[in-house]
A and B are shown apart, each in its own frame.
Chain A
């Protein structure tokens, strides 16, 4: 049945992706929720929360705030927090609650700009899309607000967040984004990195360091890789002949015959069991879906899928 999960738990959502890109940049991040979404982000999807304090707050919405659309109250809460917290910008990240009541982010931004002097970023995530889309939306907001094209930064990696790379993530600073220029070597490390690089409009390479590390251990045979698309492409670039299946974005520039964007559990089962593969490279959380698969399984941890660190 479409949308029914019997084995897997839900993947990292768009709001976690948006937060992942903006975390640690020195902004005041407001999750427009009642609290549960912030709990999922800081308490689960954001490993940096354990190690460093960051200004990530819940809007603390209550039922009547949502029903009556109390945007003025929200603006007043944020303005009050800005008096107490040092921040270089304010980011509003959406969740299912503002999506349900059709919050007008442009209006919120205008209202806030009248109250505070900091730059305002809005990311209209809704908790129903996946993390890579949220990351791409956050990069777009950053590009519109901060990213330059005439700086002198040596290199930058985009899309290397904890959600795709686990402990191997790479932090950026706001200054890095402000200092991108024609000579900057830009690497797109995941699907969202490609979106970000495209938005910036400067030349870039597509490369996953995690895949490059894994490439040497892969035996010969017909290979299926189920991960982020950049992971699969990098394996191909390293000479591994593989098909890519991904629950996340699959760009046309990467997709080739045999590749598949999948959504349902059954689709993965069909590929794994009936695809004739000798090797599957994927997070172990997918293994219960491939009970009939007789080949070799190579574990490729993917936090956005399994939540496994």
Chain B
């Protein structure tokens, strides 16, 4: 076995069945290889919207990270971004804190000092202080609700203090960190009078790119489309509680959406990011039926189909390698590309049981597509020379396939629906034209 990365073909996985997905592909059973995908996923502060950046999605908020120094180390990457200047603070835990838990008593004092520092030296008082704690406090069983209440009492000025749990230990649990942080953010909303012309798009921490979803909602008479990232002030954010309904664009916000439906009476509907033109069209029709509106996205649909056809005409045998460090589900994307007639040589992704349906269908179109898992230790020996791909998608795919063009496709601001398909196809087209020039 030594010296070769473990791989299975789509056909092999289909034949094994959903109940027998090889453990080397599903992850969580062995040591975890240090690939770009696992590092970014495991280390929520590293880049993208992990717990740290996500916790600061609320306008006029700051974060106090209460943790051993190692947990906040890579925050300097985020701190250097202009929008996060003077927003991260640290209360460093030492070994005595670990044994005695004395750091908990110091948090209110630290919060008061941070708020006073911001008010006095920076002239800007925060409306919310997020307290980020890590694996240590998960194991100590710290009651952060109580600590946050003590902080609010110590401040005594109405500044909200909320917990943010960066618990990598609970990554595959019922409420993983990225689910929990979304619940925390929207728990700040208070009940208010409903505005029938108001809708929230929730799920991501950067805005969706302005595309057909906005047009659909505007055409249906929606006056206010709010996303947490486009709220300029805390007061504007609070108006999200007036929404008529929530559109969920990321399954990790489902628990928060459920909370909002129970607590604020805001129902929600889910839209999935998919890369198949026909299925995107069907999803919009279902959405229109559910909310009782008429929609016309024929122009956008035609444009997406045209982008697919154009790429296919220029590069009929285009072959992809697809990673999971991108704004897409790699298995769904692979299936969509195969349906368009492109080839998918390799996928680097963690094969959870809910992804089996994509692999099963992919096996009919492309049985030899090879599937690797980013977490599997033998990825140390992955050899790109065996791949026939012309282009790779995803940041992790660039790591494995350094010799071919790559599209990271992982920007904070994400395209959606037909617009997403169009943009991806056009970007691939342009990249390949430049590579072949």
Interface residues of chain A, those whose CB is within 8 Å of chain B, are 1, 3-6, 9-16, 30, 33-40, 42-45, 49, 53, 55-63, 66-67, 77-78, 80-81, 83-86, 95-97, 99-101, 126-128, 130, 306-307
Q: Does B414 contact A (CB under 8 A)?
A: no
A96-B31 in contact (CB<8A): no
**A286 to B402, alpha carbons, bound, how many Å?**
37
**A61 to B171, alpha carbons, bound, how many Å?**
10
Extra 18 A-B pairs, beta carbons < 8 Å, given A58-B32, A80-B31 = A3-B103, A9-B72, A10-B73, A16-B70, A36-B45, A38-B32, A39-B38, A40-B46, A44-B46, A55-B377, A57-B31, A57-B377, A60-B30, A62-B171, A62-B172, A63-B167, A66-B169, A96-B98
> In the complex, how many angstroms separate the beta carbon of A66 from the nearest chain B beta carbon?
6
B30-A81 in contact (CB<8A): yes
Chain A residues within an 8 Å CB radius of B408: none
Q: Among B73, B169, B170, which residue has its beta carbon within 8 angstroms of that of A9? A: B73
**Among B74-82, B250-258, B293-301, B363-371, the stretch in contact with A:** B74-82
Chain B contacts with A in 58-107, Cβ cutoff 8 A: 67-77, 79, 88-95, 98, 103, 106
A57-B171 in contact (CB<8A): no
**A66 to B137, alpha carbons, bound, how many Å?**
12
Chain B residues within an 8 Å CB radius of A307: 73-74, 76-77
Chain A residues within an 8 Å CB radius of B30: 60, 77, 80-81
> In the complex, how many angstroms separate the beta carbon of A291 from the nearest chain B beta carbon?
10
> In the complex, how many angstroms separate the beta carbon of A289 from the nearest chain B beta carbon?
12
Which residue among A34, A36, A84, A130 has the maximum number of chain B CB atoms within 10 Å of its CB? A36
A12-B73 in contact (CB<8A): yes
**Among B9-17, B109-117, B197-205, B221-229, the stretch in contact with A:** B109-117
Q: Among B73, B76, B134, B138, which residue has its beta carbon within 8 angstroms of that of A63? A: B138
Chain B residue nearest in CB terms to A78? B31
Q: Among A38, A43, A53, A58, which residue has its beta carbon within 8 angstroms of that of B380? A: A53
Q: Does B290 contact A (CB under 8 A)?
A: no
What 7 pairs between A and B have smallest CB-CB spacing?
A39-B43, A35-B42, A127-B70, A34-B168, A13-B70, A10-B69, A57-B31
A5-B42 in contact (CB<8A): no
With contacts A13-B69, A84-B1, A100-B139 taken as known, whether A3 is within 8 angstroms of B94 at the C-beta atoms is: yes
Chain B residues within an 8 Å CB radius of A127: 68-71
B32-A4 in contact (CB<8A): no
A83-B2 in contact (CB<8A): yes
A43-B171 in contact (CB<8A): no
A10-B77 in contact (CB<8A): no
Q: Does B28 contact A (CB under 8 A)?
A: yes
B377-A10 in contact (CB<8A): no
A6-B89 in contact (CB<8A): yes
With contacts A9-B79, A55-B380, A99-B95 taken as known, whether A38 is within 8 angstroms of B34 at the C-beta atoms is: yes
B98-A100 in contact (CB<8A): yes
Chain B contacts with A in 158-184, Cβ cutoff 8 A: 166-173
Q: Does B150 contact A (CB under 8 A)?
A: no
**A100 to B2, alpha carbons, bound, how many Å?**
34
A40-B169 in contact (CB<8A): no
Q: Does B41 contact A (CB under 8 A)?
A: yes
Number of contact residues on B: which range applies?
35 or more
With contacts A43-B74, A85-B378 taken as known, whether A58 is within 8 angstroms of B38 at the C-beta atoms is: yes
B134-A9 in contact (CB<8A): no
Q: Among B44, B68, B77, which residue has its beta carbon within 8 angstroms of that of A13? A: B68
With contacts A16-B70, A30-B31, A58-B34 taken as known, whether A66 is within 8 angstroms of B1 at the C-beta atoms is: no
**A100 to B113, alpha carbons, bound, how many Å?**
28
> In the complex, how many angstroms separate the beta carbon of A251 from the nearest chain B beta carbon?
22
Question: Hey, what's the 0/1 contact readout for B366-397 against A, CB within 8 Å counting as 1?
Answer: 00000000010110100000000000000000
> In the complex, how many angstroms separate the beta carbon of B311 from the nearest chain A beta carbon?
31
A4-B42 in contact (CB<8A): no
**A36 to B135, alpha carbons, bound, how many Å?**
9
Q: Among B90, B98, B375, which residue has its beta carbon within 8 angstroms of that of A10? A: B90
25 A-B contact pairs sorted by A residue (CB < 8 Å) = A3-B106, A4-B91, A9-B79, A10-B71, A10-B72, A10-B92, A13-B68, A14-B70, A16-B73, A34-B135, A35-B41, A36-B43, A36-B44, A37-B70, A39-B43, A40-B43, A62-B172, A63-B167, A63-B173, A85-B378, A86-B3, A95-B70, A127-B70, A128-B92, A128-B94
Q: Does B404 contact A (CB under 8 A)?
A: no
Which residue among A42, A101, A130 has the maximum number of chain B CB atoms within 10 Å of its CB? A42
Chain A residues within an 8 Å CB radius of B1: 83-84
Chain B residues within an 8 Å CB radius of A77: 29-31
> In the complex, how many angstroms separate the beta carbon of B8 from the nearest chain A beta carbon?
15
Q: Does B39 contact A (CB under 8 A)?
A: yes
B42-A38 in contact (CB<8A): yes
Question: Hey, what's the 0/1 contact readout for B18-58 against A, CB within 8 Å counting as 1?
Answer: 00000000001111111000111111111100000000000
Q: Among A3, A30, A63, which residue has its beta carbon within 8 angstroms of that of B170? A: A63
**A232 to B305, alpha carbons, bound, how many Å?**
65
A49-B34 in contact (CB<8A): yes
Chain A residues within an 8 Å CB radius of B110: 1, 4
With contacts A36-B71, A84-B2, A96-B134 taken as known, whether A4 is within 8 angstroms of B113 at the C-beta atoms is: yes
With contacts A84-B377, A85-B377 taken as known, whether A36 is within 8 angstroms of B134 at the C-beta atoms is: yes
Question: Hey, what's the 0/1 contact readout for B117-158 against A, CB within 8 Å counting as 1?
Answer: 100000000000000001110111000000000000000000
A34-B171 in contact (CB<8A): yes
Chain A residue nearest in CB terms to B118? A6
> In the complex, how many angstroms separate the beta carbon of A241 from the nearest chain B beta carbon?
33
Chain B residues within an 8 Å CB radius of A33: 135, 168
**A206 to B294, alpha carbons, bound, how many Å?**
77
Chain A residue nearest in CB terms to B24? A84
B77-A84 in contact (CB<8A): no
Which residue among A34, A38, A39 has the maximum number of chain B CB atoms within 10 Å of its CB? A39
**A156 to B223, alpha carbons, bound, how many Å?**
70
